[in-house]
Structure 1
Amino acid sequence: MSIMSSLAVVILNYNRADLLADCLASIAASPTRCDLSVWVVDNASTDGSAAMVRERFGWVHLIESPVNGGFSAGNNLALRQILTLPDPPDYILLLNNDTVVPPGALDGMVDYLDHHPTVGVVGPKLLLPDGSLDLACRRSFPTPAIAFYRLFGLARLFPRSRRFAAYNLTYLDPDVETEVDAVVGACMMVRTSVVREVGLLDEAFFMYGEDLDWAYRIKQYGWKVVYYPAVTVYHYKRAASSRRPIPSIRAFYDAMRLFHRKHYAATTPAFLNGLIELGITVKELWALGRNLLLPSRARHVG
């Protein structure tokens, strides 16, 4: 009789008790074959999220942070505890609170890693409420060239081009399994041994970009990252960012700057660094201005 693999699901929450309850209910509704534990980190919510978890989901490991330290710092609170367990799980899944997990999804990703020992990270097909693909669920790293094509609109103009649309890989069939540079932190399963080897999320990234940075570091250690569309998870995107649009927009573009400076600026010609920095700033100002003109309920990061 084979030993079941074990999985720890880590869900970060900030002031979205409603969505968190739906996410946890979707997990509870579908028993898994793998040995499952669920960890919720509440980032100093003021809407009763922690109390809701204690009252309705007593089986969850709840960590209450006294401050909102951001995505990386919040997830790291759980990752540190998981890594120090006497019998840590085989795999760890970072999962957004604005997701709904269908039956079989967790076991499907666990089975994939069980059968592909060279893969360090796997991510599913993520579908938005309208049924379209969440483009962030399979990406290339924003190299200087790819960042340039994206920032200056070429990716949008030529979505079927391998060159110009490389960031979101929109030229690929979304139903085909693909080795990619990165999946998205909204639903990202990682081997626990890889977390030990590579280290935790970089807390310099407050919100956005930390998943790209983690995948970059993981691939530097020789591990593969795979987009696995045989598993589908539903993502009600922008749940957190829509509540605080201006700080979220700034965090988004700050993450773009940080990733470029950390991984590419030193080996990129100065003029191209300048163009990329300019492009990020122009896009940020455009996003901020556009958001201010929208009704409050329609504001988002973009």
Structure 2
Amino acid sequence: MDLSILILNYNTCKLTLDCLQSVFASNTSYTFEVIAIDNHSSDSFVESIAVEYPQVTLIANDDNIGFARGNNQGMKIATGRYVLLLNSDTIVQEDTLQTMITFMDENPTVGASGCKVILPDGSLDKACRRGFPTPSASFYYAFGISRLFPDHAKFNQYQLGHLDPNEEYPVDCLVGAFMMVRQETIDEVGRLDETFFMYGEDIDWCYRIKQAGWGIHYYPRTTIIHLKGGSARRRPTRIIYEFHRAMAIFHHKHYKDRYHWLTNSVIYMGIGLKFTMALLKNKLTRSKRASKPADNQVEVRL
């Protein structure tokens, strides 16, 4: 088997089925298997997939165990030379699998690769090629300095806005929405860190892959569409918490011992402040929605 595609579903039945349709419409000479992991969804995905895609291997969990742990379940039974993490809210192109596997075959020192990821409005999903969130990179990004100097490499260490998204080059990290990883690399560095629930595990994995000496490459010769209409929108408070929790975990794991305790304290305080501001912003947004006339109200499910 050349490729094992892992797709995690959590209450995204329609999106996941559309994603699967695009996968099985691929024009490729390579063999692939699809492993779907359902995190105890309340939708009809488990029943639907058995009817519409019986060739898919299904893992149905009794609880929502998170992105990292769910994908690790898939990796344990994957038989491909490569493993692809693929979000349920993505659409791959006909040539995506062929292009990316060929690239990996031709570049044996590359441990992980990602293609160009496009949002529905045609803009770049900037998370598809990033630098590591070092304290300086995070500072320039969080305080908007990177936006003031979009062509300056020093101030764009995280989102790499100074680099042409249509060119290929090595990067620090990719996005878990589409990440193809060599099985040899997984055997060496291990699977996703399950300390992360649904954010940060992709950056942590890339960090460990680079630490082990493997290359990570952004390869925009093919694209996918990232709809960003998945389960993250359904529980905004939990998502905000997990996002900022992931920041703290990553810093503690990889950077804490490099910096003075005062620097670390400032960083943790900054994460806490950002978390508080994000909660307040979310609360204000919900209050504005609730104050609109009934026929214009938008349901927010937590």
TM-score range, shorter chain: over 0.9
The offset of 1:28, in angstroms, is 1.6
Whether 1:164 aligns to 2:155 is yes
Rounded to whole Å, the distance in 1 between the matches of 2:235 and 2:42 is: 14
**Does structure 2 retain, via aligned residues, the 8 Å contact 1:30–1:102?**
yes
**Does structure 1 retain, via aligned residues, the 8 Å contact 2:26–2:97?**
no
Q: 1:192 aligns with which of 175, 183, 195?
A: 183
Counterpart of 2:70 in 1: which secondary structure? helix
Q: 1:32 aligns with which of 28, 31, 41?
A: 28
Report the TM-score, using the length of structure 2 for normalisation: 0.93
**Does structure 2 retain, via aligned residues, the 8 Å contact 1:144–1:268?**
no
Aligned to 2:250: 259
Aligned to 1:72: 68
The offset of 1:297, in angstroms, is 4.8
Question: How do 1:173-212 residues align onto structure 2 when only pairs under 5 Å count?
Answer: 173-212=164-203
Out of 70-79 and 141-150, give the one that drifted further: 141-150
Aligned to 1:101: 92
Counterpart of 1:164 in 2: which secondary structure? helix
Aligned to 1:7: 3
**Does structure 2 retain, via aligned residues, the 8 Å contact 1:14–1:44?**
yes
Rounded to whole Å, the distance in 2 between the matches of 1:92 and 1:297 is: 38
Aligned to 2:293: none
Question: How do 1:243-282 residues align onto structure 2 when only pairs under 5 Å count?
Answer: 243-282=234-273
For the structure 1 residues 238 and 266, does the alpha-carbon distance in structure 2 shift closer, same or farther, using more than 3 Å as the test? farther
One-letter amino acid of the structure 2 residue matched with residue 36 of structure 1: F
For the structure 1 residues 270 and 151, does the alpha-carbon distance in structure 2 shift closer, same or farther, using more than 3 Å as the test? farther
**Structure 2 stretches of 5 or more lacking a match?**
290-296
For the structure 1 residues 291 and 132, does the alpha-carbon distance in structure 2 shift closer, same or farther, using more than 3 Å as the test? same
Rounded to whole Å, the distance in 2 between the matches of 1:131 and 1:71 is: 26
Give structure 1 regions of 4+ aligned residues with deviation exceeding 3 angstroms.
295-300
CA RMSD for the aligned pairs? Answer: 1.6
Percent of aligned positions that are identical? 46
Out of 269-278 and 112-121, give the one that drifted further: 269-278
- 1:54-95 CA distances to partner (integer Å, 9 max, x unpaired)? 11111111110111110000001111112xxxxx31111000
Question: How do 1:44-193 residues align onto structure 2 when only pairs under 5 Å count?
Answer: 44-82=40-78, 88-193=79-184
**Does structure 2 retain, via aligned residues, the 8 Å contact 1:151–1:279?**
no
Q: 1:290 aligns with which of 247, 267, 281?
A: 281
Rounded to whole Å, the distance in 1 between the matches of 2:223 and 2:299 is: 26
Counterpart of 1:175 in 2: which secondary structure? coil
The offset of 1:26, in angstroms, is 0.7
The offset of 1:271, in angstroms, is 2.2
Aligned to 1:216: 207
Rounded to whole Å, the distance in 1 between the matches of 2:173 and 2:299 is: 28
Counterpart of 2:156 in 1: which secondary structure? coil
Report the TM-score, using the length of structure 1 for normalisation: 0.93
Rounded to whole Å, the distance in 1 between the matches of 2:251 and 2:161 is: 22
For the structure 1 residues 58 and 283, does the alpha-carbon distance in structure 2 shift closer, same or farther, using more than 3 Å as the test? same
The offset of 1:281, in angstroms, is 1.5
The offset of 1:276, in angstroms, is 1.5
Rounded to whole Å, the distance in 2 between the matches of 1:247 and 1:59 is: 34
Rounded to whole Å, the distance in 1 between the matches of 2:108 and 2:280 is: 47
Rounded to whole Å, the distance in 2 between the matches of 1:113 and 1:215 is: 16
